[in-house]
Structure 1
């Protein structure tokens, strides 16, 4: 088509010079038109790119996250809540978005992410209305991972700490009652775990190791159902080692608090066998822990 265009202009004007001049003019015009088209197209292209890169308003992103949460798309919801904080950190939605991300991660079973988000909320916004919720999410995230007393109890200890913190810092929180109840369950579980290991050591005549485990129960978990047996086991272990004053004290505290206990009866009989009886001794760590009258300190 280029050759035809030159031929036409050349014939019409009857000379090479005129034909060349006209061709150059037309080519210039064509180039200008093409450039204008390209500029227009590029402007349109850049405009589309800019539109595609626009960030939605914080309430819009937050609304998407809420919708995903309602649809039980928990992990996607968590990521959308995080987008609010990432793109609009100073918006009024950003603060609550952090704790909602923690909740969504918890519902998704992403417990490490839930704890991380909740911790971040408490670091950035301590004392705000959702602080108790963030603390409760931490407790729940560890609590659901608690296993039986025979397993490692790291998560149980972390859950207990989280719930104790909740009750201490937010005693009026709507989550406080459940936190107290779960804390009791966790103390029993942790005490049972210590007893499990202590019994193992006792069966293998590793009396010092057994005493250390029973001591944890008597010292840290005095209100649990496990403490009764722990005092009886301490009487047994100390007697086996010939440390009679400690055995006497353990039995005396046991008799004062649980006089009808089978563990007290067996402890009393054991001491009698060695010509002794239950008695409080001032120098005993058990006396210091449970005070002089045998009650928990």
Structure 2
């Protein structure tokens, strides 16, 4: 055993200078790494570009190029549709440089990375909720940025997607005659997602669910609010016919949550095209 230890000791490269020759890699200046990253990005080598930008942080973390390299890492990953990597880099930039002129851009990359992962309305909408959250943060933190108009438009689409998810669940509960479950889903649509294309149907479905539950006051209110805000909607015609079949007519109860949800309501944003159904 001791003999074996001696053998291992003799193989230590530090005891044999003629065998161990440390290789010293010359340090590449930060500006050169940055320019190499830009060149690789222009040539379509996104992976090589990210590598150069990330090397700046390792070799010169306190240089002005480190900040530029980090935002370019986020951008390059975004362009390559590597959403999670873009999210990580943009979050890091925002945390380290909250007062930077590029912080709004980093927030935009973050929000769009989530937005571009929004699935169809039949699947889990966690990424949709994160997209909405990060877009709202951009509006709150950088209300004068050049990205505001685009973000507001995309927020409508994201809300429409969340409303579609609620509608799918509500219709399912309605079909299963779980009217209370259906009401909860349709209620979420009219109170949280009024500027989506789903609000008209949600009001009609509330009329239907409340009629089935025998809560005629809310059924009449839902139909009345639907008729007041969307008088030409085919959904209003259905709601009106449903009430008439029970000997009732639309009548709004101003104390109902349905009525209160539409105080000051405007229809200017209705008609947004959804994402993936």
Q: TM-score normalised to the size of structure 2? A: 0.83
**Larger relative CO (CA 8 A, sep 6+): 1 or 2?**
2
For structure 2, the 5+ residue unaligned runs are: 1-16, 268-277
Query: In the TM superposition, what are the counterparts of 1:25-174 in structure 2 within 5 Å?
Result: 49-50=23-24, 52=25, 54-174=26-146
The alpha-carbon deviation at position 294 of structure 1 amounts to 7.0
Coordinate RMSD, CA, aligned: 2.1
Alpha-carbon distance in 2 for matches of 1:96, 1:216: 43
Please name the residue that 1:222 is paired with.
194
The alpha-carbon deviation at position 101 of structure 1 amounts to 0.7
- Cα distance 1:276–1:158, how it changes in 2: closer, same or farther (>3 A)? same
- Cα distance 1:249–1:127, how it changes in 2: closer, same or farther (>3 A)? farther
SS of match in other structure, 2:117: coil
The alpha-carbon deviation at position 234 of structure 1 amounts to 0.6
Please name the residue that 2:275 is paired with.
none
Question: Does residue 1:231 correspond to 2:203, yes or no?
Answer: yes
After superposition, what is the alpha-carbon deviation per residue over 1:94-142, rounded to whole angstroms, capped at 9, x for unaligned?
1121111111112223211110110111111113111121111112211
Query: In the TM superposition, what are the counterparts of 1:176-255 in structure 2 within 5 Å?
Result: 176-255=148-227
Larger Rg: 1
The alpha-carbon deviation at position 164 of structure 1 amounts to 2.5
Alpha-carbon distance in 2 for matches of 1:201, 1:110: 37
CA contact (8 A) 1:102 1:137 kept: yes
Higher helix share: 1
CA contact (8 A) 1:69 1:77 kept: yes
Alpha-carbon distance in 2 for matches of 1:234, 1:55: 68
Could you list the structure 1 runs, at least 4 aligned residues long, displaced by more than 3 angstroms after superposition.
293-296
Number of equivalent positions: 249
Alpha-carbon distance in 2 for matches of 1:70, 1:294: 48
Question: Does residue 1:259 correspond to 2:227, yes or no?
Answer: no
Please name the residue that 2:271 is paired with.
none
SS of match in other structure, 2:174: helix
Alpha-carbon distance in 1 for matches of 2:199, 2:137: 24
After superposition, what is the alpha-carbon deviation per residue over 1:123-172, rounded to whole angstroms, capped at 9, x for unaligned?
11113111121111112211222222222222222222222222333233
For structure 1, the 5+ residue unaligned runs are: 1-40
Please name the residue that 1:8 is paired with.
none
